[in-house]
Amino acid sequence: MKTAEYWKSRLTKNENVFDDDQVDLLVLGLLVAQRSTGVEHGVKGYFQADVLTRRGVIAVGGYGGGKLIPDVMSMH
């Protein structure tokens, strides 16, 4: 998963890479993902991973549609 590797690389470079608003959005995405249930393509938890990744990309950047989406939160 390219987005997870992107987040990991950012975190290993700097301890304070995400601001409080970004962390709040990421936590909110985790909470929403925990409520997502179902099986897609025979994979349990597929919806949870999809929700967390989508919310996480909005909060802290990552990959969407094969392209790197920048950290838009730091621009506010």
Q: What is the pTM of this model?
A: 0.62
pLDDT of residue 72: 57
CA 7 to centroid of chain Cα atoms: 8
Residue range 16-62, pLDDT digits in tens: 778 888 888 888 888 888 887 776 777 777 777 778 788 888 888 88
3-state secondary structure of 19: coil
**pLDDT score of 58:** 80
In the prediction, which pLDDT does 76 show?
Answer: 47
